[in-house]
Amino acid sequence: MLKMKFLRPWAALWMTVTLGWSWVQADEAPKVIVLGDSLSAGYGLQHPQAGWVGRLQQRLSRQGYPHEVVNASISGDTSSGGLARLPRLLQQYRPTLLIVELGGNDGLRGLKLGRLRDNLGSIVDIARAAGSQVILVGIRLPPNYGVAFVERFLGVFQRVAKDRGVPLVNNLLAGFDEDRESMQDDQIHPRDEVQEAMLNNVWPTLLPLLTPAGESDHRADQGVERAIGQQL
């Protein structure tokens, strides 16, 4: 094995920085990024931190998981906006897991579904290349958009998840998406009372991917297979 003193100075410095970074990473809490829009940003809630993403952090802590949740959700964001923001987020936080909750605004604005499909696929590809696991979260649009379009819209998430082999939460709003009392006055954003239900919709898909402190990434890889298997 080469001794450090025989290496060129720049090479030795690179090895020192790289090894030092590895040690820092090993001591840090694994990061979970939620890349979303207003549904994950807590729009219209009295306390946005009490939205489903904030509740996710609380549940992880209660159950002994070491993960730190980073809410990178912006109200009004689209799949294009999320794609543009992603590289910097990956560089800054180096997440072990990325939860993608985007596309609702694409649908509400009538943007092309092909562009949504391509953007979501690119998000998955970039995150995976950076070493992150990915969960896609689908959204059912309000019924006034028409049955045919609503189903085609949902089908985009299903197709990307299948083509890329990633776990899918079929509908973040499942169980109350057509309940007017569960929505704020705009009939788009959920009230405080159903934020726990939103988390419950995500949790079964997320749980197999969580690696408790001290366990290897092999368990997380097996978790991806289990999470996808739940969809088949």
Domain that holds residue 194: 31-40+47-229
- pTM to 2 decimal places: 0.82
Tell whether the model's pLDDT for residue 7 goes beyond 50.
Answer: no
How high is the pLDDT of residue 28? 86
- Proportion of the chain above pLDDT 70, given as a percent: 80
Number of domains in the chain: 1
Cα 197 to the center of its chain, rounded Å: 17
Q: Which two tokens stand for residue 195?
A: 């934020």
What does the pLDDT average to over 102-114?
Answer: 97
How high is the pLDDT of residue 49? 92
Environment class of residue 10 by beta-carbon count within 10 Å: exposed (0-12), middle (13-18) or buried (19+)?
Answer: exposed
pLDDT in tens, 35-77: 999 999 999 999 999 999 999 999 999 999 999 999 999 999 9
Residue 88 covered by a domain: yes
Residue 5 covered by a domain: no
pLDDT in tens, 155-169: 999 999 999 999 999
**Sheet strand arrangement including 168-169:** 68-71, 31-36, 97-101, 133-137, 168-169
Residue 7 covered by a domain: no
Residue 23 pLDDT grade (very low, low, confident, very high; cuts 50, 70, 90): very low
What is the CATH number for 159?
3.40.50.1110
Residue 188 covered by a domain: yes
Of 149, 190, 180, 157, residue with least CA distance to 51: 190
Residue 51 covered by a domain: yes
Place of tokens 């219209």: 44
Of 65, 58, 53, residue with least CA distance to 96: 65
Residue 117 pLDDT grade (very low, low, confident, very high; cuts 50, 70, 90): very high
Beta strands in 56-180 (DSSP E): 68-71, 97-101, 133-137, 168-169
Active site residues: 38, 186, 189
